[in-house]
Amino acid sequence: MAQSMAGILPCSLRTRAPTQIRASRKNQITTRRATHVLCAADGEEFDPRTFRRNLVRSEKYNRRVSGDESAVNEMKDQGIWTTNDGGLISQLKETGYRATIGDMELTLAKSYGFCWGVERAVQMAFEARKEYPEEQMYITNEIIHNPTVNKKLEEMEVAFIEADGEGGKDFSKVKEGEVVILPAFGASVQEMQLLDKRGVQIVDTTCPWVSKVWNAVDAHKRKSFTTVIHGKYAHEETIATASFADKYIIVKNLDELAVVREYIMNGGDKQAFLQKFSKAVSEGFDPDVDLVAV
């Protein structure tokens, strides 16, 4: 029987909107074993930064590329590695992104292919499957927004965490000792804590540039600033970033930013504002108070 994570945490961690996680009662979070990261005690404020720093030092956590050449070669064989040595893409990059083959002229966009963070994440997933060939392996979301790559992970028997039908994810099938990959977009700190308590091996492929944003959000929090996050409130990268914030508002585009700016400068209808951003603000958000320092 699945239940909300907010009802099973033994400490003061709050699941802020829009994050929702579900876990089975059988594997519900109770007390922490010494091998896991310590959680804040009752009555103490949960500190995502401290938790993550401790998690990084855990033996059941990895965020480094091993450099397994066999994994890279498999990516190349699958056409996933965008900079194949000696391949056409590599040649084009070496010749100023232009080449002539017979009577055909080719031009390559400079931004073609995967960025460094994405290629790193995919490589780590391939390496993880080779390191844990027999273990049940999950990933919390699409590793990147590329159907070919995600299909390949399915063929490698990497299972995707399923939605629970209520806007969250169902982690009830994940068991101690199994392997869970966090995608390039990252995962919420609530998901990290659940997986840590479950005793799984975490392979964190989060792009370092994404986690750098988390550090900036944490700095805002410690200075009592409200964070303005640009993104879609339901996107996994936005959810992950918001989970490290205290007070935040998420704006999708310039039009929404203009609404926020207008309220900061001239005030407005508070209820209408909160209705517009009902799914894009932290719990208890008060624009009259929380937009004073951004």
Write out pLDDT tens, residues 26-40: 333 333 333 344 444
Q: Confidence class of residue 82 from pLDDT cuts 50, 70 and 90?
A: low
**Above 80 in pLDDT, residue 188?**
yes
8 Å CB contact between 41 and 237: no
Cα–Cα separations (whole angstroms), residue 172 to 2, 24, 145, 207, 240:
7, 5, 25, 27, 20
Q: Which carries the bigger pLDDT value, residue 97 or residue 86?
A: 97
Collapsing DSSP to helix, strand or coil, 14 comes out as coil
Q: What pTM did the predictor assign?
A: 0.78
Strand partners, 179: 137, 201
Average pLDDT on 262-279 reads: 97
pLDDT value at residue 157: 95
pLDDT value at residue 288: 97
Rounded Cα–Cα distance for residues 167 and 21 (Å): 9
Q: Which carries the bigger pLDDT value, residue 168 or residue 38?
A: 168
Q: Is 237 a catalytic residue?
A: yes
Beta strand pairing call for 137-139 and 179-182: parallel
Average pLDDT, the chain: 84
Query: How many Cα atoms occupy the beta-carbon half-sphere of 285 within 13 Å?
Result: 27
Task: Supply 123's token pair.
Answer: 């490589």
Q: Confidence class of residue 8 from pLDDT cuts 50, 70 and 90?
A: very low
Rounded Cα–Cα distance for residues 266 and 100 (Å): 59
φ/ψ region of 96 (left if φ > 0, alpha if ψ in -120 to 50, else beta) reads left
Report the candidate in 240, 208, 232, 53 with the shortest Cα–Cα distance to residue 141.
Answer: 240
**Above 90 in pLDDT, residue 195?**
yes
Report the candidate in 162, 170, 79, 181 with the shortest Cα–Cα distance to residue 121.
Answer: 181
Cα–Cα separations (whole angstroms), residue 95 to 98, 151, 187:
6, 33, 39
**Above 90 in pLDDT, residue 182?**
yes
Distance between terminal CA atoms of the chain?
Answer: 41
pLDDT value at residue 101: 87
pLDDT value at residue 83: 58
Q: Which candidate in 162, 166, 237, 283 is catalytic? A: 237
Q: Give percent of the chain above pLDDT 70.
A: 83
Average pLDDT on 209-232 reads: 94
